[in-house]
Amino acid sequence: MATTTASARTLAIAEITENICSYSEHKELFALALASKSVSESALDVLWTDVKTLKDLFLLIPGCFEDDYGLFLPSKPIQPEGWTRFKSRAARIRSLEVGKNLPNDARPDSSTYKTMAEMFPNAPLLPRLRRLAYTVPRLEEDMGWERQMRLELKSLLTPSLTVFVFEAQEANSHIILDSVASTCGEIRGLKWRKPWFTTHLPHSLSRFSTLRTLKISGAELNDENVGIISRLSSLTHLNVLFDFDWSKQRTAPFNNIHRILGNLETLNIRGINEDVVNFISCVDSSRLHSLVAVLGWEAPRPAASIRNVISSLTTLSLMFTASDRRDDPIDVENLLEPFGHATRITELSIKFLWWTLGWTLDAHLSELLKNFPLLESLEIIFQVESSNWSDMASLNLLCNAAKSCPKLRRIKFVGNINITLLDGPVRDSFTELEELDFGESNARDKHRREVGVDRGLLLEFVESIAPGLSMDRVTVGRLN
């Protein structure tokens, strides 16, 4: 009962702190108060989560100072009580970033780690650490660095760790992942960033049996790498950037790889069209509900193979990077056709970057939207380099969307707006809207000159087409 009372008292104090910080508009303190409330801990304990770098950590050591080389050393032998005080503070730390600012930001001398190991044998330095971000310096070809790296990892890794983010080249990545897999048995989230693409993923990656979230930036899409990823059967969220080298594009599906990642719920994938489609077609879609895909301008040949996979989606986000030319037009119909089978989606986002002839999209997008009767939220973004007068027809696209999707409540449109065309068939199309966002749209006239759009006139227009829409739910971006 006493525990319940103490917990309730902590929560009540946290709520008061939250209200005070919110009223004072102090963002950092407000975030601290929210964190304190969410974990039902005192603000003092949560405060130590702000110790996020090695510099912050080692300055907790009594008498520690930074030398001319950016290394942190104790100024004199530290008494046991000093280490005990340091240990009590370190026990509160939940998140730490190592080597964020290269090459030697707050890198302690290896002797400091040795001293810690002697003072706290067989005990983790940060017993309550939950998240560790670890960056290997670019000077990693120095053979002496591997020893330093192993000392750091041995001191910082703890069984309580659940999220690990690291940036390293391929050689050191094997060492790092082996260390993490051996020490941390409850890793739920893993993010690996590489300065450039790698041919091989570390095989130790498949040792993370509890992994739920994986993000990889920089990997070649080949049978070996896909095989390693396929063994992560507990994955629920996968975000992967594959190599965009067209010379490495596959001409056939992956060997003996199908219905992988049966627990996957969200997939974010970027790469060459046919490689991306080949990978998507391998995924077991029984639990997949969200897909984010970045594709080029060529319609992938085996696109039909993903129809069954995407049929269960509720959220679909597509980004097309294209450069349409009159002498080499994009086959927009074939590009979009497979995604029309995602008939259960409630949220749709389509972005077109570097598209020069927006008018070629209007009819095809209108046709695509007819497949989504459950759609509630729509985002369409054009980044048009050379705007054509026919781009103005894009507003008719919004009208068609409102008519084809009876449950549509939220629209975000970023493109080219001409206020003089916001009339006629546009009116009476958005009576059920709850939110309308014109984002960072431009306004150009028929001579492709930027023109000013009166914010008041635009808001007046919005009010006339959606009389039930509260003006605080309308965004007009940079238009003025």
Quick: pLDDT tens for 366-421: 889 999 999 999 998 876 554 444 444 456 677 778 888 989 989 888 766 655 55
Angle between helices 170-183 and 143-156 (to 10 degrees): 20
Rounded to 5 degrees, what are φ and ψ at 268?
-120, 115
306 burial level (CB within 10 Å; 0-12, 13-18, 19+): buried
pLDDT tens column, 262-273: 999 999 998 766
Instruction: Determine the Cα–Cα distance for residues 342 and 345; give it in Å rounded to an integer.
Output: 6
Which region holds residue 63: left if phi is over 0, alpha if psi is between -120 and 50, else beta?
left
Q: Provide the token pair at 268.
A: 């974010």
CA distance 323 to 200: 32
Q: Which DSSP letter does residue 141 get?
A: T
Angle at which helix 27-39 crosses helix 2-24, to 10 degrees, equals 160
Question: With a cut of 70, which residues of the chain have pLDDT below it?
Answer: 1-52, 65-75, 100-113, 137-145, 195-199, 243-256, 272-273, 297-304, 322-329, 354-360, 383-396, 415-429, 439-462, 464-468, 471, 476-480
pLDDT at 389: 42
| C-beta separation of 261 from 233 below 8 A | yes
- What single DSSP character describes residue 51? -
Identify the pLDDT of residue 105: 45
The pTM assigned to this predicted structure is 0.77
Which residues make Cβ contacts (< 8 Å) with residue 196, sequence separation at least 6?
218
CATH 3.80.10 is held by the domain 314-326+339-355+367-389+397-480: yes
434, 440 contact by CB (below 8 A): no
Q: Are 331 and 299 a contacting pair, CB within 8 Å?
A: yes
Both structure tokens of 414: 């970023």
Surface-to-core class of residue 256, CB atoms within 10 Å of its CB (0-12 exposed, 13-18 middle, 19+ buried)? exposed
Q: Which residues pair with 328 in a beta bridge?
A: 325
Beta bridge partners of 293: 269, 318
CB 365 within 8 A of CB 334: no
d(CA 50, CA 315): 35
Q: Give the pLDDT score at 4.
A: 44
For residue 352, the cross-strand partners are: 320, 382
**Looking at residue 192, what is its pLDDT?**
87
